[in-house]
Amino acid sequence: MTNVGLAKGVGIVFTWTLLSLSDAGAKVYAQVGNKAITEREVARAMTGMPPEQRRILMLDPKNREQLLESIMGQEALFIEAENRKLDQSESYKQDAENFRRQWVVARLLETSLGTKVTPESVKSFYEKNKKRYTSDQVRVEHILFHDPKLAAQVLKQIRPDGKNFAELALKNTKDQTYKVNKGEIGWIGWASPVASEIRDTAMLGSKGQVFGPIRTSSGYHLIRIIERKDGKPVPFQEVAGFVQEDLKQALTKQFTEMMKTKHAAKSLDTNLEGL
C-alpha cells in the first residue's frame, strides 16, 4: 500500500476519533494549542486498522510522520469546531441523539443475542432452512400500493390464470419504474438484493401463484410468480457467511417482536397521514 493510501485509511479512522486529554506522564509527540498529542492518541488512531497495515505503517518513518500530521490536523479541526460552538447546534443535538439510539440498540442486541450465534447454531439453522440455500430462481412481477385495503380489493380481482395481472398493475401500481419494467421485478434468487419480505415469499412459491398484500418499506405489494427454475442445494461451507447473517436477522426479528409485546407497541395510523 502506498503512503497516500495509508494516509487515507488512517484519515477514515480519525474522522470517528475524538481525541481525549492525555494521561499524565505519557510521552508527548506533538502539541496543538494546549492539547498534547500522546502515545495514547496515536494508539487510539490506529484502533480498527488491520494488524498488517499497522505494522507496515510503523515501519516507515515517512508513514509515521504522515500519521502524526493527520492526528494534528484532526485535532486542530476539532478545536476550531468547538470554538465555533458547533456542538451546541440543534442539528448536532439531533445527530448525537440519533447516534445514541443506534449505539444503545446495537449494544442491546449484541449483549442479548451475541452468545446465540455460534458455529453450532449457524449449522443447525442451515439444516432447518435448507430450502433457503439453493440455486433456485423465480421470475416475479408485482403491483405496489400505498393503501393495504386497496391492495386486498385488487387481489380479489386477479383471475386464477393471472392473465389480467399486468392490466391491474397498469391501473393501480404506485411503482415509479412501471413505465420501464411493466411491473416486472425480474429473476431473483435467495441472495438477490430485493426486499426480504418479497424474496422469502416468492422463492417458496410455484409458477402462477399470487401472494399479498406483502408489506415492505415501500408499501404493500401483490406479487405473481411468472416462471420458476429449480436449482441445486448449495453446500454449507459455500454459504456459511450468508447463513450466519440470516440467523442474526431471524434472532433480531424474534427479539424485536418480544420487546414490542413487552412495551405494548401498537399502530394508531398505518397510513402515516400528515407526513
Residue 266 located in a structural domain:
no
Residue 215 located in a structural domain:
yes
Residues 123 and 156 grouped into a single domain: no
The maximal CA–CA distance of the chain, rounded, in angstroms, is 80
55 burial (CB, 10 Å; 0-12 / 13-18 / 19+) is exposed
Q: Which regions of 180-256 does DSSP assign to beta strands (E)? A: 184-188, 210-216, 219-229
The domain that holds 139 is classified in CATH as 3.10.50.40
**Domain ranges, residue 245:** 94-131+240-251
Instruction: Render pLDDT for 68-100 as a digit per residue (tens, 0 to 9).
Output: 999 999 999 999 999 999 999 999 999 999 999
Residues 10 and 48 grouped into a single domain: yes
Q: Which residues of the chain have pLDDT under 50?
A: 1-22
Residues 72 and 103 grouped into a single domain: no
User: For residue 35, what are the β-bridge partners?
Assistant: 32
Residue 270 located in a structural domain:
no
3-state SS string for 9-23: HHHHHHHCCCCCCCC
Q: How far is CA 80 from the centre of its chain?
A: 33
Residues 46 and 79 grouped into a single domain: yes
Residues 199 and 72 grouped into a single domain: no
Nearest to 18 by CA among 59, 77, 60: 77
Q: How many domains does the chain have?
A: 3
Q: Is the peptide bond before 119 cis (omega within 30 degrees of 0)?
A: no
Residues 143 and 124 grouped into a single domain: no
Residues 139 and 202 grouped into a single domain: yes
Residue 259 located in a structural domain:
no
Q: Which regions of 2-90 does DSSP assign to beta strands (E)? A: 28-32, 35-38
Query: Distance (Å, rounded) from C-alpha 106 to C-alpha 108?
Result: 5
What single string gives the DSSP state of each residue in 147-199? -HHHHHHHHHHS-TT-TTHHHHHHHH---TTHHHHTTEEEEE-TT-SS-HHHH
User: For residue 215, what are the β-bridge partners?
Assistant: 220
Residues 114 and 247 grouped into a single domain: yes
Residues 66 and 103 grouped into a single domain: no
Residues 216 and 191 grouped into a single domain: yes
Length, in residues, of the chain: 275
Enclosing H/E stretch for 145: strand 137-145
Residues 148 and 184 grouped into a single domain: yes
Residue 260 located in a structural domain:
no
For 5, 23, 66, 158, the CA distances from 15, given in Å and listed in that order, are 16, 22, 15, 54
pLDDT computed for residue 6 by the predictor? 41
Residue 272 located in a structural domain:
no
Q: Locate 205 and state its grid cell.
A: 412459491
Residue 64 located in a structural domain:
yes
Write the CB contacts of 253 (distance below 8 Å, at least 6 apart in sequence).
none
Residues 186 and 247 grouped into a single domain: no
The answer to whether 136 and 203 have CB atoms below 8 angstroms apart is yes
Residue 263 located in a structural domain:
no
